[in-house]
C-alpha cells in the first residue's frame, strides 16, 4: 500500500479498516505506529505477526483523552492523574492496572496496560473516527529503528498494511517516556523526551528504580533494541574517513552533523541512522553525546543500538 495524505476521507477510510479488524500505519508525535483496535485480540495478533515481535511484549494503547482512560484501566493513582493532566496529549505512556475488556494479547498477559494520549492531530482524529482505543507499537520490525517519517516505513511492513497515513516528520523522534504507575512508587521503564527530572519535580519525590531482571515487563529494556542494520559503535572521535554521526564539521558525505541540543538530536537520530543504513555503510561510528541527564533518552537508545545481540 502506498503512502496517503491524511485527508478527512483517508482518515475515515483508515478508521474503517481498524473497525474491520485491519492494521494501518499512523503518525504520532514520537514515531510512526502500527495501529489496530486494541480491544480486538485478532487484530492485535496481526500486529505481532507483521512486526515479528515476540508475543510476550505488551503494546501501548492510544486513547483520545484523559476521560477515555476508564475504557481500558481499572484504576489510577493520584500520581497517574497528575502526570496525565500535565503531559497528555503528549509523549508520555502510563502503565496502569488493566480492565478485563483489554485482551491478554494486547498486554502480553500482564495485569497492567500501557496507555497514552498522543498529540499528533492525525492520531487523535483517527482514534476518534475509529471509536476505539488503538494499540500501536512502533511501525518497525522487531528490534529495528522506529520510523519517524512515512517514507521510512520499510517494505516488510508496507506490504502488510492497508494504509500509511503521512503525518510528516515526527516532532519528537524518540519513543515516549514509559512510567509504571500501577503500584508502589512510580518508576521509569523507558526514558524519553519528558525527563526524569521533570517528572520527579512534578511528583515532588524521586522515582523508584526498576528491579533488575524485570525484562518481561518492558520490551524496550531488552539490551539490544532500536538498532540499525550496521554495527553501531560509540566513540570519542570518528576514525578518519569513516561514516557516522558527529557534532563537528563532517569530513565526508557519510558523516552527518548532529545538533548539540538533545531534543533537536532526537528528532534526527533514527532518520540519520536509517540514511547510513541505506548507504550500506558497515559500521556507524557515533560521537558519544554528553553524559548529562538531559541526554538520558538519547544515550539510552544509542546504548541499546550499540549492544551486540
Report d(CA 299, CA 61) in Å as an integer. 26
255 binds, among ligand TXA, Mg ion, none (CB under 5 to 8 A by kind): none
Which of 137, 186, 191, 262 binds ligand TXA (CB under 6 A)? It is 137
**Taking the complex as a whole, how short is the minimal distance between the CB of residue 145 and Mg ion, in angstroms?**
9
| Nearer residue to Mg ion within complex by CB, 76 or 226 | 226
Instruction: Examine residue 89 and say whether the peptide bond preceding it is cis (omega within 30 degrees of 0).
Output: yes
**Options 10-18, 89-97, 235-243, 274-282: segment touching ligand TXA (CB under 6 A):** 89-97
Nearer to ligand TXA, 169 or 250 (CB): 169
**Nearest residue to the partner ligand TXA, using Cβ:** 220
Work out how close the CB of 138 gets to Mg ion at its nearest, in angstroms, rounded to a whole number: 3
Among ligand TXA, Mg ion, none, residue 115 binds (CB under 5-8 Å by kind): none
Q: Give the Cβ contact number of residue 16 at 10 Å.
A: 15
Q: Which of 61, 82, 297, 56 is nearest to 190 (CA)?
A: 297
Query: What is the rounded distance in angstroms from the CA atom of residue 63 to the CA atom of residue 108?
Result: 19
- Closest CA relative to residue 161, chosen from 19, 302, 253, 34: 34
Burial class (CB in 10 A: 0-12, 13-18, 19+), 84: buried
Rounded Cα distance between 204 and 9, Å, is: 45
First-to-last alpha carbon distance for the chain, in angstroms, is 32
Cell for 197? 527530572
Please answer whether residues 56 and 146 qualify as being in contact, where contact means their C-beta atoms are separated by less than 8 angstroms. no
Out of 114, 124, 157, 297, the only residue in the binding site for ligand TXA (CB under 6 A) is 114
Residue with smaller CB distance to ligand TXA, 59 or 238:
59
Residue reference for cell 533518552: 297
Which residues between 151 and 180 bind ligand TXA (CB under 6 A)? 175-176, 178, 180
* Residue 44 is a binding residue for ligand TXA (CB under 6 A): no
Among 37, 43, 105, 138, binds Mg ion (CB under 5 A): 138
CB 76 within 8 A of CB 181: yes
For the CB of residue 128, give the shortest distance to ligand TXA in the complex, in Å: 16
- Residue 28 binding ligand TXA, by CB under 6 A: yes
The answer to the question of residue 190 lying near ligand TXA (CB under 6 A) is: yes
Contact residues toward ligand TXA (CB under 6 A) are 28, 30-31, 33, 58-60, 91, 93, 95, 107, 110, 112-114, 118, 136-138, 175-176, 178, 180, 189-190, 217-220
Amino acid at each position: 500500500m502506498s503512502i496517503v495524505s491524511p485527508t478527512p476521507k483517508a482518515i475515515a477510510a483508515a478508521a474503517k479498516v481498524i473497525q474491520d479488524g485491519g492494521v494501518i500505519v499512523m503518525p504520532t508525535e514520537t514515531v510512526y505506529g502500527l495501529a489496530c483496535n486494541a480491544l480486538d485480540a485478532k487484530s492485535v495478533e496481526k500486529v505481532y505477526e507483521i512486526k515479528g515481535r515476540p508475543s510476550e511484549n505488551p503494546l501501548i494503547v492510544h486513547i483520545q483523552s484523559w476521560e477515555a482512560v476508564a475504557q481500558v484501566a481499572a484504576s489510577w493513582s493520584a500520581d497517574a492523574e497528575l502526570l496525565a493532566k500535565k503531559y497528555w496529549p503528549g509523549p508520555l505512556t502510563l502503565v496502569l492496572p488493566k480492565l478485563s475488556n483489554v485482551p491478554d494479547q494486547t498486554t502480553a498477559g500482564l495485569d497492567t496496560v500501557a496507555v497514552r494520549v498522543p498529540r499528533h492531530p492525525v492520531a487523535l482524529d483517527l482514534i476518534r473516527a475509529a471509536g476505539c482505543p488503538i494499540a500501536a507499537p512502533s511501525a518497525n520490525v522487531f528490534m529495528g529503528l522506529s520510523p519517524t517519517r512515512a517514507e521510512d516505513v520499510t517494505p516488510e511492513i508496507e506490504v502488510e498494511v492497508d494504509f500509511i497515513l503521512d503525518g510528516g516528520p515526527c516532532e519528537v523522534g524518540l519513543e515516549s517516556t514509559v512510567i509504571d504507575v500501577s503500584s508502589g512508587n512510580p518508576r521509569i521503564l523507558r526514558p524519553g523526551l519528558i525527563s526524569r527530572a521533570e517528572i520527579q519535580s512534578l511528583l515532588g519525590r524521586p522515582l523508584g528504580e526498576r528491579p533488575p531482571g524485570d525484562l518481561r515487563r518492558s520490551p524496550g529494556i531488552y539490551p539490544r533494541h532500536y538498532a540499525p542494520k550496521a554495527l553501531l559503535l560509540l566513540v570519542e572521535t570518528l576514525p578518519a574517513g569513516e561514516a557516522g554521526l558527529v557534532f563537528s564539521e563532517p569530513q565526508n558525505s557519510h558523516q552527518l552533523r548532529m545538533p548539540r541540543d538533545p531534543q533537536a538530536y532526537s528528532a534526527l537520530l533514527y532518520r540519520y541512522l536509517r540514511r547510513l543504513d541505506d548507504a550500506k555503510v558497515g559500521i556507524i561510528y557515533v560521537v558519544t553525546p554528553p553524559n548529562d541527564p538531559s541526554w538520558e533518552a538519547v544515550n539510552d537508545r544509542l546504548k541499546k543500538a550499540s549492544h551486540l545481540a
